[in-house]
Amino acid sequence: MTLARGTRTRKTSAPPKPAKKAPTDKRGARNRSPAEQQGTEHRVDLLESMLRIRRFEERCVELYSAAKIRGFVHLYIGEEAVAVGVNEALSPADAVVSTYREHGHALARGITAEAVMAEMYGRTTGCSGGRGGSMHLFDASRRFYGGNAIVAGGLPLAAGLALADRLRGQPNVTCCFFGDGAFAEGEFHETANLSTLWNLPLLLVCENNLYAMGTALARHEAQTDLAMRAASYGMVAWAVDGMDVEAVEQAARRATEAVRADAGPHFLELRTYRFRAHSMYDPDRYREKAEVERWKARDPITRLIDRMREDGEPADKELTRIERHVTDELDRAVAAAEEAPEEPVEDLLRHVTSAPVEVG
């Protein structure tokens, strides 16, 4: 990982070698030091958060296929390490602005699976009251200011939130997620320039999954080193392996600590990959199957499990427990969404127009 202002950044690492067998002695759980045990517990938390997102998205595929949920649905499968690692570095007072591929961001931020699933169903118990659906999850109580359906549309909003915190003297960070396609939009360049000029407490997180919808990065950007391009605006920027949740968390903590210390906006290019198509409507004919399989070999969930096994941590036991817990959680979320009420027709204009005012 290279930290620099305008210098070259590290290329995405090659696929990892097959995991070694877990040690059977010396590093057993009972012989681990308190510090090591704490590290194990944190890894378990990371694993559970990523598995919750993965299983939620897989359940959405089933429900979409059964016509239980409709509209555009953009799945986060493969990118879980980004949402989980970054959110681990944020405090509850920090703000998060997301994209239309935001289910993982919302769940990692702490919005319940029940609230997100109800929103997918368009029910009143959803986090956006059933009016947002898949692309517009929102929860002001957690300072989660939405998925945004417009590419790069969240960037100016994030700059405004960061400016508001700065004017109020609040020591908060605003984190804005966006994809590599946002580099083709003026909003990115305007936000990057202004946030550096005004020294805004902004963390810009680019989820570079190599494709803007169906267009490969090299087909829409002459310079594909996005961290280097961001650094040209005078902000600290570096690239990170977005398929490694621990590397993402480490980089995000380093960046948020610097932003909070008034070091100005920081940029992270998280090199990741979505295993599914752009959306449920996308036939996904623009990628070679071999390429997808190469990236699946770097699955962030599998990589963390293999690392835990190598270190003699109880990965398999925890995996079984987490799978059961997450399955029960999602079963309850689906059942609650099925039973939740739809908004009555007479309320359709609520939040759309203001109340009539009599003019004397």
Tens of pLDDT along 305-350? 999 999 999 889 899 999 999 999 999 999 999 999 999 998 888 8
For the record, the structure tokens of 38 come out as 């704490």
pLDDT band (50, 70, 90) for residue 176: very high
Q: What's the whole-model pTM score?
A: 0.87
pLDDT in tens, 286-316: 999 999 999 999 999 999 999 999 999 988 9
Nearest to 76, CA basis, from 104, 44, 50: 104
pLDDT bracket for residue 143 (50, 70, 90):
very high
SS3 state of residue 206: strand
- The answer, yes or no, to whether residue 244 has pLDDT greater than 60, is yes
Predicted confidence (pLDDT) at residue 25 exceeds the cutoff of 80: no
Return d(Cα 19, Cα 307) in angstroms, integer.
7
**Contact residues for 245 (Cβ-Cβ < 8 A; gap 6+):** 46, 50, 80, 81, 84, 85, 300, 304
